[in-house]
Structure 1
Amino acid sequence: MNSPMHRLGFNHYGAGHAEEIGNTVDYAMSPHVDLSIFTILTQNESGLEVRGPEGEWICVPPVQDALFVFLGDYLQRWTNGLYVACEHRVRQVRTQRLSIQYKHRPGHDAVVSPLDRFVGEGKPARYGPFDTGGQYVSFLKSLLGSG
């Protein structure tokens, strides 16, 4: 964590966009966990859904003057699964939906793997090392179909 990364993003989901591009699935953003330590989000309209413990999708309604905070993949890896990253997606929207998100991540020089306090006898490491530089870039390219 010598030089952590901060990302502030703005997302726009247009009403009817799915039909315009021929989308055949029932979501606007595919299910995923964020490659971050945590994410903070606010939204003006419904659309965000999180995967519940039984595998069901739960709607996260917008709440005025409130922020939604969820854990990312890196925290799950560091804690060897003690804390679980929040799988989420955005369902198709019928109105213009805007969201603002802040993601906190380690710098590109970090390698994320379970910390010693979360592994040991009877608690083997559940995750291998993840390079937040090269592996992260390769992962993003694979999502975009360019890698």
Structure 2
Amino acid sequence: MGQYVMAVQELQNLLTNLVLESLDINPSSMQKQIEEGMHVLAVNSYPFSAEPNLTSGVAPHTDHGLLTILLQSYPGLQIKNSDDTWVNTPFNERALIVLLGDQMEVLSNGIYKSVIHQAISSDHNRISIANVNSFALEEKIRPAPFLVNEERESFYEECSFKDFLDFLSSSDYKQKIRFIDTLKKNVVKGQV
């Protein structure tokens, strides 16, 4: 497991750098924040259910970090597409799934969107291993300065992972409002 985590973190750094480069952000300008950031590994077990339609997996959500890499042992991940319908992700036991998170949506000023996803129950035991990277607990993230100008205003308030954790205990979370939605500004020229 230790070797897997080290390999996934190396892959995560490479993919994060590629996404940053696609935004014309020099990855070395954010290297310190990424290196000092958080790397969370979550192992989830979804036991066999004789009636999968009557049990739940994980409710719809987005991950707060920059990027999540997911390994799953059996199908069960769904993503919400642009027309608001749920789609089963293709399953390949040798493949990893990469999801962008809320921090990447904020950093890109809405150019990239965090992926709404859920885990559904199935008729097989299922394990998923999610590796999430984010900035450090109190490190504020905001839209990259050069992605904000007269033609494209800032669409998001700055936030930190700690702000996200505080949100989880708030009434907004209990009302099923996504954290990223609380960060969106009401911008007249364009809505995200």
TM-score, normalised relative to structure 2: 0.66
Asked if structure 1 preserves the Cα contact closer than 8 Å seen for 2:58 and 2:119, the reply is yes
Partner SS for 2:112: coil
Asked if structure 2 preserves the Cα contact closer than 8 Å seen for 1:46 and 1:62, the reply is yes
Large movers: runs of 4+ above 6 Å:
none
1:126, 1:18 → 2: CA distance?
43
Residue 26 of structure 2: aligned partner: none
Aligned match of 1:43 = 72
Residues 99, 140 of structure 1: CA spacing in aligned structure 2 closer, same or farther, 3 A cutoff?
Answer: same
Would the aligned equivalents of 1:18 and 1:28 in 2 still touch at CA under 8 Å? no
Alignment deviations for residues 36-93 of structure 1 (CA, whole Å, 9 cap, x no partner)? 0000001111110011111111101321221111100000001110011111001222
- Residue 27 of structure 1 and its aligned partner are, at CA, apart by 4.2
Residue 48 of structure 2 aligns with which residue?
A: 15
- What CA distance in whole angstroms lies between the structure 2 residues aligned with 1:129 and 1:139? 14
- Could you list the per-position Cα deviations for residues 85-129 of structure 1 after superposition, in whole angstroms to 9, with x for gaps in the alignment? 111001222211101111011001211111111111121111111
- Give me the CA root mean square deviation: 2.4
Cα contact 1:27–1:89 (8 A) shared by 2: no
With normalisation by structure 1, the TM-score equals 0.85
From the two aligned structures, give the one with the greater helix fraction.
Answer: 2
- CA distance in 1 between counterparts of 2:141 and 2:124 reads 39
Q: Does 1:139 align with 2:172?
A: no
For residue 18 of structure 1, report the CA deviation from its aligned partner: 8.1
**2:120 is matched with which residue: 86, 91, 99?**
91
Q: Which runs of 5+ in 1 are unaligned?
A: none
CA distance in 2, matches of 1:36, 1:94: 30
Secondary structure, counterpart of 1:8 in structure 2: strand
Q: CA deviation at 1:141?
A: 2.9
Is residue 68 from structure 1 mapped to residue 97 from structure 2 by the alignment?
yes
The structure with more strand, counted as a fraction of residues: 1
Measured after TM superposition, the shift of residue 17 of structure 1 is 8.8
Percentage of pairs with the same residue: 27
Instruction: State how many pairs are aligned.
Output: 140
